[in-house]
Structure 1
Amino acid sequence: MFLKKLTLVFCCSLLPLEAFGLTTVDVVVVGGGAAGLAAAVSAAEHNAKVVLLEKSSSLGGNAFFSGGYFNAVNSERQKKAGVVDSKELYIEHMLESGGGKNSPEIVRKLAEESLETMKWLENKGLRFQELVTESFGGRWRRSYLTLEPDGQGFIRVLTTDALRRGVQIQTKAPVKQLLKGEDGRIVGVAYQDEDREEKRIFATKGVILAAGGFSANPELIRKIAPELSDLTNDNLAQNTGEVLLSAEQIGAKLVNMSEIECLPGARKGSTVRGRLHGDSSRFIFLDSDGKRFIREDAKRSEIRDAVLKLPGKMAYLVIDNSGFKSYSLGIQRDSIRGVETGDVFRADSIEEMAEQLKIDPSRLKKTIEEYNKCVDMGIDPLGKSKEKLLHKIETPPFWGTYAPMAIHNTLGGLAITQEGKVLDKDGKPISGLFAAGEITGMTHGSDRLGGNGLTEALTFGRISGKACAELK
């Protein structure tokens, strides 16, 4: 019943802005995902009249269907869990993963503000689990999940708060153009209403771009990363990057555009993704011969490149029932549905799993025996860290899935300041223009830490909303 009500809230088409007599407001937010909702709420908190325009018929974007991991250095919770962490270590991990392509200033801002964002959300009624965990590719136990499935709790809390604060939300309203004043300041946007008529709305303070990335734009992917052009993607269809390109047209600087993150996704011809890769201590990757080919806790970019070198660019993943039960009810539910579609496999023995994956049974059995010995010894010839050699694969039933690479996140985008101000090609802020979330390109560099997607979107959404609302 709760999920039914949730869907109704997020999918309802709100009244046209004309019904409120709105042609000029303080702040216009473009995009209704985590970053856009956080920006709208934050701006409204600082006494701005706000309009939010969303391209699709519902709010939430990719965040609604995400794994729901949120990273922060929360020393109090981590201490109870026996985890030693610090902001400096968090920064170090982000910069190492980014390969020198992310901004140290933006990284530091994220590390310093993420806990404040977590507290901000809690004050609005979002409840986090006590568990301190680590997302796939996260490098450290600093991830938190809410009590609600996936990313739904973040969207529910922010939508409720936005409406309570008087934010006017218009769905089915794709933005087509940024409007520039004679002095070069961004003064509003042109968008299409539900009848495809062009409308304009003006902003006295500024426009915040939070329209996501371009993972669902195959032509743009083919242009900037042709080696990934034949992959599927796990994004919503509206993530095609038009707002990003519109900002470039008015002089905004783009950075790291060829940096694209991939995760295990759906095989070609299917839309079902076996989401069994959340915890790298629980599963193993296999090639078509039934052998491990990379450590499961490697950087996401390393795993991507290794899978793309396999025959048919196809990998497989196996986990036991103990690992399966450690995942969220949403992942378990989706996996059971995947068994029905032939995208996920369930077997009572290793030999049966091998037959379903079309792998030599003796080879798979030997691989799992060798891996279990690695767990016992705490040493892995492929280099998996001792901290991740925690769980044997031994409890039936066993679960397996296809694990080809799918485009998950575009890491490049708009260059911004620590306040979320968009920079022009000379590195100077464009007056009246801000951005937050996946549409920006300075946070992750060449590799994103698992759990940092929501953290980035919500933190810079909060920061940019406040900064825009306080413009004179």
Structure 2
Amino acid sequence: MPPHQYDVIVVGSGNAGFSAAVSAKENGASRVLLLEKAPIEWAGGNTTFTAGAYRTVFHGLQDVLPIVHNVTPDLADKIDMQPYTEDDFMADIKRVTNNRSHPELATELVRESNATTKWLAKNGIKFILSFNRQAYQIGGRHKFWGGMVLSVEDGGKGLTQQHQANAARKGVEVRYDSPVIDLLTDTVGLVTGVTVRHKDGTTYNVLSRGGVILCAGGFEANSSMRAQYLGPGWDLAYVRGTPHNTGDLLKMAINLGARTAGNWSGCHSTCWDANAPVDAGDQVLTNQFTKSGYPLGLMFNTAGTRFVDEGVDMRNYTYAKFGREILKQPGSVAFQLWDADGTSWLRKEEYAPDVVERVSADTIEELAQLLAKKGLQRPEEFVKTVEEYNAAVKAHREENPDVEFDPSKKDGLSTISSKAGLVLDKTNWALPIVKAPFLAVKVTCGVTFTFGGLKTDPKTSAVISEQTGRSIPGLFCAGEMVGGLFYDNYPGGSGLTSGAVFGRKAGRSAAQRAEGMEQPRVQASL
């Protein structure tokens, strides 16, 4: 085979891209090229900025123990973990997406999730049980909650490094600083390769017998596209991850005739440190700028009022949409609040003094005055809201003395009572805010990835043509570029799982296609 002709070309070095490349290798592709727009320092795309969590079907603790590396036999005896079935996973997808997720895409994701995580483990991905994010220690037991138990050693950074090492072992060729600027086709419309730009501005063509797999992310780092598709104000959102996901390959595919799908006005947006960088994530702190401790506290806007039910659901099912609610508030900022008891449950990696600016005081009144210097416009309303909240919590507990606080489930501790509660009740984990010292942090909206993308065949990950309604020969897609799976919200951890499931499918499909193809009919060049 000529030097610049490959069996399969993958665009994008995140979880989906590496999964696709390795899958292609395992399915018979002898020469696989992975192209990455960013320099190697930004390898991994948004994968690097995740917590490395995978949502997967599993059949209890014994099903996951063989693939995790942080559980001793003694520790295993102290774990409470309910199975997470296909029905559970599907019900969560339907519930949080308002039943709009494409049923065949969702079915493939759910059914392939268990086998895919085990496949990743065989390929060197070092899974651990997520004690720090998905379990609470209660009565000497580690109680897992929210249907998601797996994460990766060293989080997103570790996941990218492990994928890189596996690709090297498998013989995948990886080129960084290699943006794809065009998709090549032959005279009958088959996708035959890509045009790549060198750092010096010159370009060259690379051809593929099996096709091109697009795993280049969404448009979350493109402020104009955010404003165009997500709506007014979204150009002001903070970019949680890589600055290189600017929608270039989405545009190319659409210009080529790909059909779009999914929630183009929707995205994954989370509670994000208001002091974080604006246009890209921090490569050292990565996911630590997430501020997801709100279920055990309260959130206020600058007018001193609450604007969401912090306890409406487990964090897994609200964190990807509450960023949107913060963006709607005055100044697109908010304050999270806890008392001393609530603070004790916060994760150090998100709320330690060396990670976030902590505002602390011995009284709510004093805290309100300190927050006024941080943008709180109505300190007196803030104090009043806390007082009304505490009164509602007390009334609920007086009428429901047997309801016990349990952060590992929706415990029913609320602000609702015969005294009518609040205009906006907190429906679970309504801890009183009464014990000094009191802690507050300032947060904003961090956009993670966009939900709109390309329509694909759920079985093969082939991109569908707008004109014919059939697969575009030689073009595949995985990861954030897949449209139709998530709407308005998503079940936490299902993004990485989706990338691996459909990346694996795409790699297999492209490799199989390469076996029966002639040499590409567009000239490759240096």
Q: Using the alignment, how far apart are the partners of 2:207 and 2:297 within structure 1? A: 51
1:413 equivalent in structure 2: 453
Shift of 1:289: 4.4
Cα distance per residue 1:310-342 (max 9 Å; x no partner): 333332112456666656654346x52432xxx
Pair 1:287–1:219, CA change in 2 (3 A): closer
1:296 equivalent in structure 2: 310
Q: Which runs of 5+ in 2 are unaligned?
A: 64-78, 136-144, 313-317, 373-378, 397-403, 406-411, 417-423, 517-526
Q: Using the alignment, how far apart are the partners of 1:29 and 1:371 within structure 2? A: 56
Pair 1:153–1:276, CA change in 2 (3 A): closer
Q: Using the alignment, how far apart are the partners of 1:277 and 1:193 within structure 2? A: 39
Q: Using the alignment, how far apart are the partners of 2:97 and 2:159 within structure 1? A: 26
Cα distance per residue 1:31-62 (max 9 Å; x no partner): 01111111111111223121000000021111
1:159 equivalent in structure 2: 164
SS at structure 1 position matched to 2:208: strand
Tell whether the 8 Å contact from 1:372 to 1:393 is kept in structure 2 after alignment: no
Pair 1:393–1:187, CA change in 2 (3 A): farther
Shift of 1:279: 4.7
Q: Using the alignment, how far apart are the partners of 2:305 and 2:248 within structure 1? A: 42
Could you state the TM-score of these two structures normalised by the residue count of structure 2?
A: 0.75
SS at structure 2 position matched to 1:404: strand
1:118 equivalent in structure 2: 117
Tell whether the 8 Å contact from 2:4 to 2:206 is kept in structure 1 after alignment: yes
RMSD over equivalenced CA pairs, Å: 3.2
1:424 correspondence with 2:465: yes
Paired residues for 1:29-40 under 5 Å: 29-40=10-21
Greater alpha carbon shift after TM alignment, 109-118 vs 444-453: 444-453
Greater alpha carbon shift after TM alignment, 359-368 vs 115-124: 359-368
Partner of residue 475 from structure 2, selected from 419, 433, 440:
433
Q: Using the alignment, how far apart are the partners of 2:167 and 2:345 within structure 1? A: 34
2:60 equivalent in structure 1: 76
1:176 equivalent in structure 2: 181
Pair 1:347–1:197, CA change in 2 (3 A): farther
Q: Using the alignment, how far apart are the partners of 2:166 and 2:306 within structure 1? A: 47
Shift of 1:390: 7.7
Q: Using the alignment, how far apart are the partners of 1:297 and 1:260 within structure 2? A: 21
2:315 equivalent in structure 1: none
Query: What is the identity, as a one-letter code, of the residue corresponding to 1:292?
Result: R
Tell whether the 8 Å contact from 2:96 to 2:490 is kept in structure 1 after alignment: yes
1:45 equivalent in structure 2: 26
1:104 equivalent in structure 2: 103
Cα distance per residue 1:209-260 (max 9 Å; x no partner): 0000101112222222332233333232111011110001110011232223
1:9 equivalent in structure 2: none
SS at structure 2 position matched to 1:265: strand
Greater alpha carbon shift after TM alignment, 314-323 vs 40-49: 314-323
1:468 equivalent in structure 2: 510
Tell whether the 8 Å contact from 2:271 to 2:319 is kept in structure 1 after alignment: no
SS at structure 1 position matched to 2:211: strand
Q: Using the alignment, how far apart are the partners of 1:23 and 1:197 within structure 2? A: 16
Could you state the TM-score of these two structures normalised by the residue count of structure 1?
A: 0.83
Which structure has the greater CA radius of gyration?
A: 2
1:87 correspondence with 2:89: no
2:326 equivalent in structure 1: 307
Query: What is the identity, as a one-letter code, of the residue corresponding to 1:444?
Result: F
Pair 1:362–1:280, CA change in 2 (3 A): closer
Paired residues for 1:278-427 under 5 Å: 278-298=292-312, 299=318, 303-304=322-323, 306-319=325-338, 330-332=349-351, 336-339=354-357, 344-347=358-361, 350-358=364-372, 359-360=379-380, 362-363=383-384, 365-366=386-387, 369-370=390-391, 373=394, 378-381=413-416, 382=424, 384-386=426-428, 389=429, 398-418=438-458, 419-425=460-466, 426-427=468-469
**Aligned residues with identical type, % of pairs:** 27
Tell whether the 8 Å contact from 2:361 to 2:438 is kept in structure 1 after alignment: yes
Shift of 1:422: 0.7
